[in-house]
Amino acid sequence: MAKVLVVDDSKLFRMLASAPLAGAGHTVREVDPVSLFEVLKVLYEFNPDLVVTDYWMPNCNGETLVRAIREDPNFHNVKILVCSSHGEEALVERMGNLLVNGYILKGGGMVNLLARAEHLVGGMP
């Protein structure tokens, strides 16, 4: 089972993302991205295997967060799954270039989120 950090400015969305992951046996922690510092603080404390994050967040831009994770050697093995309502091709490509491990649309539902997350952390004891 994996440790998953859910980052989204909507408490409701954090609940919707956490429920299927926790139901599948993963250890889930949620963080309200009031600032990039706050998210990084929780990252250090929790040391997740996977970060599920929104892209458009008013106080912590998803792209900035992804860059911060990728540039920190402590998080070398952390997988990143971006879950957004936006599906513009340019955005998907840019996130891909930032070495995220997956990009899904919120419209795909909890089933899709769970399937993609489990694919990324598959095989973890």
Residues that bind other proteins (CB under 8 A): 10, 12-13, 15-17, 19-20, 23-24, 54, 56, 58, 84-85, 105-111, 113-114
CB of 12 to other proteins, least distance (A): 5
82 three-state secondary structure? strand
* Nearest distance in Å: CB 68, other proteins: 23
12 vs 73, which CB is nearer to other proteins? 12
Min dist. Cβ of residue 76 to other proteins (A): 29
- Angle at CA of residue 82, ends 20 and 48, nearest 5°: 65
Check if the beta carbon of residue 13 is closer than 8 Å to that of residue 19: no
In terms of phi and psi (left: phi > 0; alpha: psi -120 to 50; beta: otherwise), the region of 65 is alpha
**In terms of CB distance, is 44 or 108 closer to other proteins?**
108
What do you get for the CA distance between the two ends of the chain, in Å? 5
Give the residue with the Cβ less far from other proteins, 17 or 66. Answer: 17
Nearer to other proteins, 58 or 122 (CB): 58
Q: Least distance (Å) from other proteins to the CB of residue 45?
A: 26
Q: Per-residue DSSP letters for 84-119?
A: ES---HHHHHHHHHTT-SEEEEGGGHHHHHHHHHHH
